[in-house]
Structure 1
């Protein structure tokens, strides 16, 4: 489990296609305190540390992970939001995030509002029922609050506000129109949706 509060920005130093895609990610974490097999969320994707040394760790991405996450995210030289797994007793500063991507969104506008940036995101029909005004959502692993929603024929549009601190501490400082983002819906919305489906269809 994670909180959506980013604690470092990693840089992909190497990407090697083996049976899976092996990434070596440079980071500022003290890797002596990170065990092999530990989970680190990388731009909203829960990945397992399979190798490490001072200043870097390695993870493997399956074909399923690659297919379900934002295109171009895992290229060599790219930046990724990092968050270590939540420990019992840690402050829950964002919201409960699992590191499982529910779908992709695309930035359709990025406009300055005061010192902040208002982003409007388009998302598909698989996401639409689970997004609510003033609810929580994770974009590339960053916990944000949904401002407004607008239904569309094939999904919805929703807006979020990036304060300067959030932009500076995450890869959302490069938010630009056309960028694809990993979306994780609020875990409560996911389970409520499942309960409604079982009630209505029995499946």
Structure 2
């Protein structure tokens, strides 16, 4: 979780004292020094132009539009007011580092997958990008994914992203339909096999790696 808190990065300033600091507090201190000189020597620069005055006005504006609740109102006391968190929570799908997670974002994952194909195959794939699952219902997810993929593709390569009609139940409906096929039961995993090998070593599954369970009994 290193880096989730801005204070974590202070360790680098302790290691290298010669490095220039980008700490916000130091920047604000330098800004205040400059503003004091402007107040003393520039007649056009007034107190209301300072950073602190502007910040207070922004805070007052936010407070003016914040819903007011009566003292002792349980609903008001338990309500959490969000600001940029509404956008940051969704953006972690593309930038997990914002949440302190050391992992590739959705755009980077797609880029790594497409890098395995030649230009002709890549063009065929990006013509039909299919997104499903409950998170795909996030508002404006498709335009955001489009913006992440477009820069990694040639300008003249068509890109089409489609979302499932019912992304929440797609996986269940797919397996339900698959279970109606006789082939499903031949390739399924029994409870005994799961208990024997566990979830990490399923040996008889049509989507798994090649293993001994597919060997003909006559060859065993």
TM-score, length of structure 2 as denominator length? 0.19
Which structure shows the bigger proportion of residues in helix conformation? 2
Which is bigger in relative contact order (C-alpha 8 A, separation at least 6)? 1
TM-score, length of structure 1 as denominator length? 0.20
Which structure shows the bigger proportion of residues in strand conformation? 1
